[in-house]
A and B are shown apart, each in its own frame.
Chain A
Amino acid sequence: MTHRYGDAKEAFVDEIKIDEYIELEGSKKAYKQLEHSLKKSTKMVLLYGKPGTGKTLLLNRLFEANKTNVDLHFLDTPSGTRREFYKKLFKIFTGREMPPHTKVDFETFVAFGRRIKGERKIVILLDEAQMYPKEMLEEIRILSDTGSIKFIIALHKTEDEDLVAKKHFQSRIWETIELKNADPVEMKAYIHKRLLHHGLTELAHQIKDRQMKKIHHWTGGNFRECNKLLYTVYEIYEYYDRHNPQKIDYNRFSDKILEMAAIKTGFLHV
Chain B
Amino acid sequence: MYDIEDLERRWKSYRRKKILLRSGIATAILLLLALPLLYVSLKSSKASIESKSSETPQSKASPESNLSVLDKNASKTVSASALSPEVPSMRETKLPKKKPKMMITFSDPSQSASGNRREGGEVQMQMVKASNRSVVREIEKRFPLSRDYDDAMYLAKYYYGKKNYKKAENWAMQANTIDSSKPESWIIFGKSKAKLGHRRDALKVLQAYYDRTGNMQVRILIDRIRRGKPY
Contacts and interface: CB of A to CB of B under 8 A. Distances in A.
A-B complex is real: yes
A239 B1 contact: yes
Contacts of A64: none
Contacts of A268: 14
Contact of B11 (A25, A238, A256): A256
Given A236-B1, A259-B14, A263-B14, A196 B150 contact: yes
A256 B132 CA distance: 23
A205 B148 contact: no
Contacts of B150: 193, 196-197
Interface string A70-106: 0000000000000000000000000000000000000
A270 B13 contact: yes
Contacts of B157: 201
Contacts of B3: 264
B114 to A, nearest CB: 25
B4 interface: yes
B46 interface: no
B142 A205 contact: no
Nearest to B16: A270
A235 interface: yes
Contacts of B132: 205
Contacts, number: 45
B7 A25 contact: no
A236 B135 CA distance: 26
Interface in A249-269: 256, 259-260, 263-264, 268
A23 B1 contact: no
A59 to B, nearest CB: 22
Interface residues of B, number: 22
Contacts of A235: 1
A189 interface: yes
Interface in A190-210: 193, 196-197, 201, 205, 208
B167 to A, nearest CB: 17
Given A205-B132, A205-B135, A235-B1, A23 B11 contact: no
Given A270-B13, A270-B17, A260 B146 contact: no
Nearest to A256: B11
A58 B68 CA distance: 94
B228 to A, nearest CB: 30
Interface in B1-47: 1, 3-4, 7-8, 10-11, 13-15, 17
Nearest to B184: A199
Nearest to B4: A239
Q: Most chain-B Cβ atoms within 10 A of its Cβ — which of A197, A263, A268, A270?
A: A270
Contacts of B146: 23, 189
Interface string B118-138: 000000000000011001000
A72 B27 CA distance: 64
A189 B142 contact: yes
Given A205-B132, A235-B1, A236-B4, A270 B10 contact: yes
Contact of B148 (A23, A256, A259, A263): A23
Contacts of B7: 236, 260, 263-264
7 contacts: A205-B135, A239-B1, A260-B11, A263-B11, A270-B10, A270-B13, A270-B14
Interface of A: 23, 25, 189, 193, 196-197, 201, 205, 208, 235-236, 238-239, 256, 259-260, 263-264, 268, 270
